[in-house]
Amino acid sequence: MRTKTIVAIDGPAGAGKSTIAKRLAARIGADYIDTGAMYRAVALKLLRTGTDYKDPEALQTMLDAMDVDFSEGHTILDGEDVSGLIRTPEISALASPSSGVPAIRYKLTALQQAMGKRKSIVMDGRDIGTVVFPDADFKFFLTASADERARRRTEEMRAKGDPADFETIRADIIQRDYQDSHREFRPLRKADGAVEIDSTDMSIESVVDTMMAFIEARDR
Ligand code: DC
């Protein structure tokens, strides 16, 4: 990579953002940052401290005493690696509504912007191209049909030995899509100038290759 580069990848749950962002980061020698994991870490802290995200004072006290980082594939909450604790249905269910709270978004946005100051990054989330890095060098909006996203997630969970139910996962994906794209504050939407890629019938490698083609075209 010629210069410090910022790649923003946004899209709905289960579109393959994290797998693709991770591979793209490895190909261009950038750090990969999963911002969804950071919102999940906040949800974990809400649960652990019994904080109601609808109580502004209690929430601010919690946020002021909280540090969230994402480094080398690990999610760090107040110095503790919580990567293994944030992929539960309970955390997913709480991360979606709580991530709509402005105080939480302000705090994480500032942390994410600071990460991009240091080096090249590929960052995935819901508002990276719209809010966190509106001037990113490359912006992608990655989608896939709800059925395909549910199918992928079901397979992923079954591979881990979880007897996942397709219909339940599909309903959960549709519910989260709705919440993420209809929330009042900074909803999920395609950023101006973002390249939309529908991965429904594409392999992971072909999505990464498509993104690489855009990046290489600039560097040529
Ligand atoms: O991508 P994920 O499923 O791990 O994200 C968890 C939740 O956090 C999801 O409901 C959307 C929200 N999120 C967000 O609002 N903004 C981001 N940049 C990333 C995730």
Give per-10-residue mean pLDDT for the chain (220 aa).
88 92 97 97 98 98 97 96 94 93 97 93 96 97 96 91 93 90 90 96 96 89
Q: Which two tokens stand for residue 96?
A: 């979606």
Question: Are 138 and 211 spatial neighbours (Cβ–Cβ below 8 Å)?
Answer: yes
Q: How far is CA 90 from CA 85, 154, 200, 219, in A?
A: 10, 17, 27, 43
139 lines ligand 1 (CB under 6 A): no
Q: Which two tokens stand for residue 48?
A: 């652990």
Element of type H or E holding 198: strand 195-198
User: Nearest residue CA, atom 4 of ligand 1?
Assistant: 36
pTM for the structure as a whole:
0.93
129 lines ligand 1 (CB under 6 A): no
35 lines ligand 1 (CB under 6 A): yes
Domains of the chain plus CATH, in order, are 11-202 (3.40.50.300)
